[in-house]
Amino acid sequence: MSDGLTDIAILKEMIKETATVALENDRYGKNKVILREPPPANYDVTIYGMPDDDEVIIIKADTFISPNAVFKGNRGECKRADFVIVADTGKKKVILCVEMKAGKGGSYIIEQLKGAQCFIAYCREIGQSFWEQQNFLKDYECRFVSIKNIKIPKKTTRIDPNYDFPSKIKILKKSGSSFQFNDLVKGQR
């Protein structure tokens, strides 16, 4: 049983700390998170204006071991995006599947984002079965974010609502290395 825990609290019980990213304070005392890709990629993206710690969990989705021992992977079903951000601010319940690329990226980004969505579906089933919460992660909007050209410094961040990926999912495409959480959440409707 969940003992009245929120979905975020349940996820924090479920997911190991080594597979999460902690919030930090920016120079104004507000929350930020730095999403880092370790070497050899060796780049990072900062998201400012993050919700409070009890309202959000940032999961390194690619820590989840690839299921290629079971699946063939012919359709990309073994891929995962870099990060999943699950937030419940009281006003908005959102799941951001985030894939980062230093350069332009590639067509397999869709597979990675879909893999992160499947990871969340797996977490949803775990919460429903083992925490006995039938509505666990049910009312969340899932959004897909592709961040590219990370090493290119930008003076301003803008939303680029190009949804020209050959897929039925809408992907918010952004370039740069720093963003506002609310812009990522509002970027696609």
Residue at 133 is within a domain: yes
Residue at 153 is within a domain: yes
Residue with tokens 């897909």: 144
Can you tell me the distance from the alpha carbon of 179 to that of 175, in angstroms, rounded to the nearest whole number? Answer: 9
Domain of 59, in residue numbers: 7-186
**Averaged over 153-180, what is the pLDDT?**
59
Residue at 26 is within a domain: yes
pLDDT of 106 over the 70 cut: no
- pTM for this one? 0.86
Residue at 115 is within a domain: yes
Residue at 1 is within a domain: no
Number of structural domains (the chain) is 1
> Given this model, what pLDDT does residue 166 score?
37
Residue at 2 is within a domain: no
Tens digit of each residue's pLDDT (9 = 90 or more) over 36-58 = 988 878 888 999 999 999 999 99
pLDDT of 160 over the 70 cut: no
| DSSP E strands, 42-188 | 43-48, 56-60, 83-88, 93-100, 141-148, 171-175, 178-180
Tens digit of each residue's pLDDT (9 = 90 or more) over 72-84 = 988 888 899 999 9
